[in-house]
Structures are given as structure tokens and as C-alpha cells.
A and B are shown apart, each in its own frame.
Chain A
């Protein structure tokens, strides 16, 4: 069988198992958190009576195992349930919102921001990485390294505030808030997402750049590079034609890791810019113990991670003839 197809099938199978395991872990963690949905919603105003009423109406008074398998039963049919927060409302179910309705617009926003950042960050990181490898140990290399390290070494919110201070409050080029609604047009969405996207770019660029540089440099002592040099190729040709093609595997892994981060790890940036993404939704729902929403978010995150890693593996196989045509 073609190794690519084989890997894909194998990984997808394992991926499903992983998703199942993730759902068990998330569910049991939520169960173990102190306080339940009712206490979280009612806060200081909770009385045993109102708590019991809410638990009863949501079926939270039943054993955890029953509830879990009920949820799984729905999930395998693509039915992720109704958000507790909306289902909690009294007599009418007019307010009840399906998890998918809550998540869909936010998921779009999250992917939008991730894609926008990736389009900016990945090419810059690759180019900088290659330049640093080419001019390794020059002042250019050192300065580029120090600068990008400084940006990843600063907490995300710090980078964000500094950008806001200069670009939004002082210069007023971009809005300090990225409130996106369903009426926001595509171009307006881009305009409003500039600052969060710039923040994330600064945060992820160093990791990818350094990996590009390191994996290219690590190949430079190989005999075949030595050979290419002896042939009289310029350093640029050596790096682009000979080193880079063999360095793709680790680079792809790091890019996949960072793209996954753009989807799953940006809750802080979402909070700073009030960008309605999925990270904030998950944190909110965890604090409210809104199990169906938390589960759905966790599964989306896990699936993103699994798929991106699969993609990285495919890249490593395709770029490596030894893996593509096994003996």
C-alpha cells in the first residue's frame, strides 16, 4: 500500500481513539472540579433549593457514568447536546441553544485569525530562518535571534498591550478591540484582526525560525553537503537546493505545532482584544461547568491537533524518498 495512504488510515484510526480518550479525561476532570453548573451560575445567591431545581431540570442529579454515555451516544450521531447555560432557562426552551450553534461562528473566527496569522508568520519565519542559516553567526543572525527571542520571551498579553498602545491608542491605525459579529464584512474582519494577528505572529515566529535555522545548519556537516560545496555551489544554492529539502520534516512538525497553537492556545489574545474565538468560549464554559460546550471545544482542539500533525507527517514522508519508497 502507498505509505501515505497507510499512514493516513492508521493515524485517523488512532485519532478516533484519542478523541474518545480526550472526552473521558475532560468529562472526569469536569466532574472532579469543585462546585457544579448550578453553583457556578448562582454564585453567592445559591441556595440548596435552587441548586437542586437546576440540577434536576438538567438531569445532573443522575450518576456521572449514565450522563457520560448519554453524551457519547449523542456525540457519535453528531448531536453534541444543548448548552447548559441556555437550557437552564425556566419553562421555555425557546432560549435553548445547540452547542453547534454556539460554536460555529466562534470556530469560524478562530480559524480566520489562525489562517491570517499563518499567512503572515510562516513565510516570514521560513525566510528569516534560511537567511540566518545562510549568514550564521553574523550580526544579522544574532540580532534576528535576539529580537525574535525577546518577542517570544514576553508574555503574550504584554506584546499585545504594547502593540495596542502604539498602533491603536497613539497612532489610531487599528482598533483596540476586535469585536466581530455576523454582520462584519470580510475586509472589516481582516482590518479588525490585524492587531491580534500581529501579536500572534510575534509570538510564534521565533520558534519556527529557530527550527528552520537549526535543522538546516544541522545538515551542513553531512557528507553530501560537503560534496555540494566542493562542487563549487554557492552557499545559497547549497542551502536552498540541498539542505532545505532534507530539512522539511522537522520544520513541518514545528509549523504544525505552531498552527495548532494558533487554534487552541490563543485564549489570552482573545481576551485582550475581546475577539470572539473558541478559546474564550471554552474557558468561560469551564468556569460555568457547562459540560456539553467544554466537551465540544476539547474535541475540536484535539481533532485540530491530530489533523495538523498528520499533515506534518505526510510532508515528511513526501519529502523523504526513503520513506516514500520503502525497501
Chain B
């Protein structure tokens, strides 16, 4: 293929996915010497290549274990979450690529009573894979399953604001909240909440749902196979879908290169340039909502001094971390608590860069020159945590700070180190809303407030923003909160990660979701074979 042909093929594909406008496409082709009419015809034919049905999509996933389960209260790994978001399960709402909530199983969503009452109208005539018609009772039963007193579901954390639910006919559910929450529906887009079929008060957690694909074979920790649900209210594009659990990154890469799978996630970043150059490969590279953090206990010396916290924030070369730990596939953090692609995210000033002199002067002000601190790290916190900690120690030296890297055991890290040691490594996956993120990780009383930070103004704004239905006003409140967190908090976002994988260029797709890997978990019904 000549370079022109190669570029042309790329341009055609971009057109087919709506990424390249007619004007740009024609400018490209005509600059290459094509006539106007030929170029127009070519654009028309390329643009017609819309989602096609058919094919067997095989995804190699770097998650999965023999303890995988279809019980949404126990979804744990990246293998499971797509099941709830749109493989076999169907939730009430979804997140679109812009990060906004859109109805899915719900037909319409309305709030009243100052965002304290939410009315969900459910699509009529939706059936589960076993033929049973989905009703409001299934919705209520599903929520109760996660929110009941005996619940073991981590999803409970998103539902605590619900005071009562009632069905109004078979296709309407009314949620009464304890306090106003203008962003409530987004919580229900979480992967834990596909609507389950309820029989005699018991949910069916066998993997049967109302989603676009029907479970057709499951070997925990090995593979899951689905076939298209012909009765789906929004059908998927593929005839069949197989998820293969391939935990070893090298094995995943091999499987992709040998054509065993069409997509792999969690590509090994060390070799990403070589993977990118593999034939017929498109890099899946999406700036996600995940944050790799280093929370400091704001109630424990020496981190109880705001100058010390700020000094440490200036003393870390985050760009170097991004370059070396993420191989450039990520963004340096700025301690605003929200990933840049999330709704309401801002960039508080001054942006934290590497400035050891500033760190030194801050420490001097606090009378803490020659600071010595322990930093707990383990690869359980995030891959590369120990390497990152060593790099941080190296950076901080220039500011006269000695960081003693404590290597903690991976097992039990979340029980014994995080929330227990004054300075540790942690990661935060995306939360559906700014409110969810702040409520779960920075609110004064939050169980996972891993900085023990209690800022009155921040907490006041958090409640106020939740009840504010006027969007610009809400945005302003969230902006102020991010500024406070940035200046005063113990929260330190070292890096925002990208989701990096490789996909065959036979796959067509639209814009990607940033909330989770795998196009937000929706790739199985959104993507298609061109």
C-alpha cells in the first residue's frame, strides 16, 4: 500500500465513524489530486458504513478469576462489570460518552420536590431472557437486594440516600430520597445495578437479565460466551461475544498478535509502541476517570500542617511519574479530586508542577525543614506503586524532604494499610458524579475519607450542590469545592490513568466513554465489525 492509499483508508474509516467531516475529507482527497465528483462519491460511500450486524467479537480481558460470579452484589473484577452494564444485564440508565446520564431501560426520568422525588418510567414490553416481562417490581426488588439490611453489596454505598420506593403501575417507579440529590439517576448507571428478575421476592443472579446478549456458557476465570438477544429492546451488533480472561499481559499481547482475540485491554505499557505498530491495529487510548493518589492524613503530624501538605504537592514531579509509570499514557494530577473528563471538573490554580524551591520555602514557613516522612506503597494499590514511590522519594530529595518508602504486602493492603497509615498509595476508580466522588472520598463523615479531612466549607457546599437543580450554579459550587480541596486537602492525585488497549481495525466504534474501561463497559453492544 502506498502512503496515500494508507492515509485514504484511514480517512475513510474516520468518516465512517463520524470523526471526519465531509469538508475535511474532501480537502484531503482533492489535495491528493482527486476530482471533486470522485471525492464526493467516495465520501458518500464511506459515510454509509454505519454499524453492521454480525460477527463474533472476542475480547481478551486482563481480569477474571475462578471466583467470578454473575451476582451483581459480588461483581469484583473488570471481567464482571460489563455484564451488568450492557451484556446480559440492563440497567435503568447509562452514561454517554460526554459523561451525562441517558435513559436506557427507563424511558423517561423526572424529578420533583426539589430533587427529592424521582419518577422513572420504564419501557413497556421489555422481557427478560427467560420470557418474563420486566415490571416495576423487578426494579424495586433489585434495589432492595443491594440496599437491604443484610446486603453484602458494595453497591449499597450509592443507595443510602433512598428513603422509600414505590411502584405506580407496572411501568413506573417512584424514589423518595432522604435529602435532595440532583444527580441521583447517575448512581443507577453503576455496573452493580442491572435490573434482575425477581420471583417470589428473590432475585435471579444466574446471569439472566434483560440485556442485549444472552449468557451462553460460563467458566469462571476462563471465558464467558454470549449470543445476541433477538428480543432485546436495543439489540447488540455482534452475533456472538466471548470474553476471555487472560491475566498475564504478555499472554494477552500474544493472543492479540496471533489473531485469537479482536481486542485486548490493559496493554503492557512497556511495549506499547511495538503493539501500536502491529499490523491492522488501532490503539484504544482513553483518558479515564481513574486516579492514582497518595492520600495524607490531615489530622496526623506532620501532615496536619497545610504547608507540609502543599510542600509535598510541589515536591513531586508528577509528569515524571506519568512518563515513567504510565509511559506517558495518563495525565499529571492537580489535586482537584475529579478526573478531567468528568462533568464539572475544573483546573484549579495554581497548577501543581514540580517546584522543589517552593516546597522548601513552604517547609521553612512551617518550620519543618528537612522533613522526613514514611510513604506506604504496594502494587496492590496500583500497578507500579512501588516504583512510583521510589521516584517520588527521588524527586522530594531536591526539596530536602526524605521520603522513606515502606513496601507493604499486597494482601490485606486495603484492610491494613489504606485508611490506617498516614501516607499511602491508593487508587480511585471513576464515580458516576462529582457528588458521588466527593461524598465517598472527601466528605467529613465518609467511611472512605482517606485523608481524614474535615473542611466545613467543603462539606457545606457538598450538601448545597446536591440540592441545587440550576446547573450553572451547581457547576460554580463544584468549582469552589475543587479549589478548596486543591489548596487545603490531603488529597494528592499523582496521575490520572488512561485506559490503554489494542483493537483490530476491523472494529468500528463511535466516541468512547471515559467512565470505565471497555468503552464504559458498553463496547459489546456499541461496537461492530466494519
- B412 interface residue (CB < 8 Å to A): yes
Q: List the one stretch of B147-155, B300-308, B451-459 in contact with chain A.
A: B147-155
A85 touches B153 (CB 8 A): no
User: Beyond A34-B409, A46-B415, A50-B153, is A288–B65 a contact (Cβ under 8 Å)?
Assistant: yes
In the complex, chain B residues whose CB is within 8 Å of the CB of A172: 258-259
Could you say which of A46, A57, A88, A176 contacts B258, with CB atoms under 8 Å apart? A176
- A115 interface residue (CB < 8 Å to B): no
B152 touches A53 (CB 8 A): yes
A276 touches B67 (CB 8 A): no
B412 touches A272 (CB 8 A): no
Q: How far is the CA of A180 from the CA of B257 in the complex (A)?
A: 20
Q: In whole Å, how far is A49's beta carbon from the nearest beta carbon of chain B? A: 8
Q: Which residue of B lies closest to A55 (CB)?
A: B152
In the complex, chain B residues whose CB is within 8 Å of the CB of A33: 411
Q: Which residue of B lies closest to A48 (CB)?
A: B447
A41 touches B150 (CB 8 A): no
A34 touches B412 (CB 8 A): yes
Could you say which of B217, B221, B426 contacts A276, with CB atoms under 8 Å apart? B221
B145 touches A90 (CB 8 A): yes
A285 touches B151 (CB 8 A): no
Of listed B205, B258, B447, residue having the most chain A CB within 10 A: B258
In the complex, chain B residues whose CB is within 8 Å of the CB of A44: 414, 418, 426-427
Q: List the one stretch of B12-20, B22-30, B71-79, B283-291 in contact with chain A.
A: B71-79
Could you say which of B152, B223, B418 contacts A88, with CB atoms under 8 Å apart? B152
Q: In whole Å, how far is A41's beta carbon from the nearest beta carbon of chain B? A: 6
A41 touches B74 (CB 8 A): yes
Q: Which residue of B lies closest to A50 (CB)?
A: B152
**Chain B, 333-371, contact with A by CB distance < 8 Å: what is the 0/1 string?**
000000000000000000000000000000000000000
Q: In whole Å, how far is A69's beta carbon from the nearest beta carbon of chain B? A: 25
Q: In whole Å, how far is A270's beta carbon from the nearest beta carbon of chain B? A: 10
A176 touches B414 (CB 8 A): no
B221 touches A34 (CB 8 A): no
For window 254-277 of chain A, which residues contact chain B by CB distance below 8 Å?
271-274, 276
B248 touches A272 (CB 8 A): yes
In the complex, chain B residues whose CB is within 8 Å of the CB of A161: 250, 254
In the complex, chain B residues whose CB is within 8 Å of the CB of A285: 66-67
Q: In whole Å, how far is B56's beta carbon from the nearest beta carbon of chain A? A: 14
Q: In whole Å, how far is B449's beta carbon from the nearest beta carbon of chain A? A: 13
In the complex, chain A residues whose CB is within 8 Å of the CB of B202: 91-92
Could you say which of B223, B248, B412 contacts A39, with CB atoms under 8 Å apart? B412
Q: Which residue of A lies closest to B146 (CB)?
A: A90
B254 touches A90 (CB 8 A): no
- A164 interface residue (CB < 8 Å to B): yes
Residue total for A at the interface (Cβ-Cβ under 8 A):
57
- A73 interface residue (CB < 8 Å to B): no
**Chain A, 49-78, contact with B by CB distance < 8 Å: what is the 0/1 string?**
010011001000000000000000000000
Could you say which of A35, A47, A85, A273 contacts B66, with CB atoms under 8 Å apart? A85
Of listed B67, B204, B245, residue having the most chain A CB within 10 A: B67
Q: Which residue of B lies closest to A167 (CB)?
A: B258
Q: In whole Å, how far is A246's beta carbon from the nearest beta carbon of chain B? A: 45
A176 touches B156 (CB 8 A): no
Q: How far is the CA of A165 from the CA of B250 in the complex (A)?
A: 10
Q: Which residue of B lies closest to A274 (CB)?
A: B246
Could you say which of A43, A168, A169, A181 contacts B219, with CB atoms under 8 Å apart? A181
In the complex, chain A residues whose CB is within 8 Å of the CB of B76: 41-43
**Chain A, 100-114, contact with B by CB distance < 8 Å: what is the 0/1 string?**
001001000000000
A169 touches B204 (CB 8 A): no
- B206 interface residue (CB < 8 Å to A): yes
Q: In whole Å, how far is A134's beta carbon from the nearest beta carbon of chain B? A: 40
In the complex, chain B residues whose CB is within 8 Å of the CB of A88: 69, 71, 74, 152
B247 touches A271 (CB 8 A): yes
- B222 interface residue (CB < 8 Å to A): yes
In the complex, chain B residues whose CB is within 8 Å of the CB of A272: 248, 250-251
Q: How far is the CA of A225 from the CA of B67 in the complex (A)?
A: 59
- A86 interface residue (CB < 8 Å to B): yes
A276 touches B65 (CB 8 A): no
Q: In whole Å, how far is B142's beta carbon from the nearest beta carbon of chain A? A: 11
Of listed A35, A42, A161, A274, residue having the most chain B CB within 10 A: A274
Q: Which residue of B lies closest to A289 (CB)?
A: B411
In the complex, chain A residues whose CB is within 8 Å of the CB of B416: 34-35
Q: In whole Å, how far is A136's beta carbon from the nearest beta carbon of chain B? A: 39
Q: How far is the CA of A43 from the CA of B245 in the complex (A)?
A: 19
Q: In whole Å, how far is B15's beta carbon from the nearest beta carbon of chain A? A: 32
In the complex, chain A residues whose CB is within 8 Å of the CB of B220: 85, 102
In the complex, chain B residues whose CB is within 8 Å of the CB of A90: 71, 73, 145, 151-153, 203, 205
Q: How far is the CA of A90 from the CA of B72 in the complex (A)?
A: 10
- B260 interface residue (CB < 8 Å to A): yes
**Chain A, 155-169, contact with B by CB distance < 8 Å: what is the 0/1 string?**
001000100110011
B251 touches A94 (CB 8 A): no
Could you say which of A34, A271, A287, A293 contacts B415, with CB atoms under 8 Å apart? A34
A181 touches B222 (CB 8 A): yes
A281 touches B66 (CB 8 A): yes
Q: In whole Å, how far is A162's beta carbon from the nearest beta carbon of chain B? A: 11
B73 touches A89 (CB 8 A): yes
In the complex, chain A residues whose CB is within 8 Å of the CB of B260: 175-177
Could you say which of B219, B254, B414 contacts A164, with CB atoms under 8 Å apart? B254
Q: In whole Å, how far is A155's beta carbon from the nearest beta carbon of chain B? A: 12
- A179 interface residue (CB < 8 Å to B): yes
In the complex, chain A residues whose CB is within 8 Å of the CB of B412: 34-35, 39
B221 touches A169 (CB 8 A): no
B69 touches A89 (CB 8 A): yes
- B373 interface residue (CB < 8 Å to A): no
- A284 interface residue (CB < 8 Å to B): yes
Q: In whole Å, how far is B30's beta carbon from the nearest beta carbon of chain A? A: 41
In the complex, chain A residues whose CB is within 8 Å of the CB of B463: none
Q: How far is the CA of A25 from the CA of B145 in the complex (A)?
A: 38
Q: Which residue of A lies closest to B257 (CB)?
A: A169
Q: Which residue of B lies closest to A47 (CB)?
A: B447
User: Beyond A274-B245, A280-B66, is A89–B74 a contact (Cβ under 8 Å)?
Assistant: yes
Q: How far is the CA of A85 from the CA of B248 in the complex (A)?
A: 22
In the complex, chain A residues whose CB is within 8 Å of the CB of B426: 44
Q: Which residue of A lies closest to B416 (CB)?
A: A34
Q: In whole Å, how far is B467's beta carbon from the nearest beta carbon of chain A? A: 26
Q: How far is the CA of A249 from the CA of B2 in the complex (A)?
A: 67
Q: In whole Å, how far is A35's beta carbon from the nearest beta carbon of chain B? A: 4
In the complex, chain B residues whose CB is within 8 Å of the CB of A42: 76, 154
For window 188-235 of chain A, which residues contact chain B by CB distance below 8 Å?
none
In the complex, chain A residues whose CB is within 8 Å of the CB of B74: 41, 88-89
Could you say which of B71, B154, B156, B246 contacts A89, with CB atoms under 8 Å apart? B71
- A321 interface residue (CB < 8 Å to B): no
- A45 interface residue (CB < 8 Å to B): yes
- B188 interface residue (CB < 8 Å to A): no
B254 touches A169 (CB 8 A): yes
- A313 interface residue (CB < 8 Å to B): no
Q: Which residue of A lies closest to B260 (CB)?
A: A177
Which 8 interchain pairs have the tightest Cβ spacing? Answer: A85-B67, A45-B154, A34-B412, A89-B71, A35-B412, A176-B254, A284-B66, A176-B258
- 25 residue pairs from A and B, CB less than 8 Å apart: A34-B412, A35-B415, A42-B76, A44-B426, A46-B414, A57-B152, A85-B67, A86-B67, A86-B69, A89-B69, A89-B71, A89-B74, A90-B71, A91-B202, A92-B203, A102-B220, A175-B258, A175-B260, A179-B244, A182-B219, A273-B251, A276-B219, A284-B66, A284-B67, A287-B411
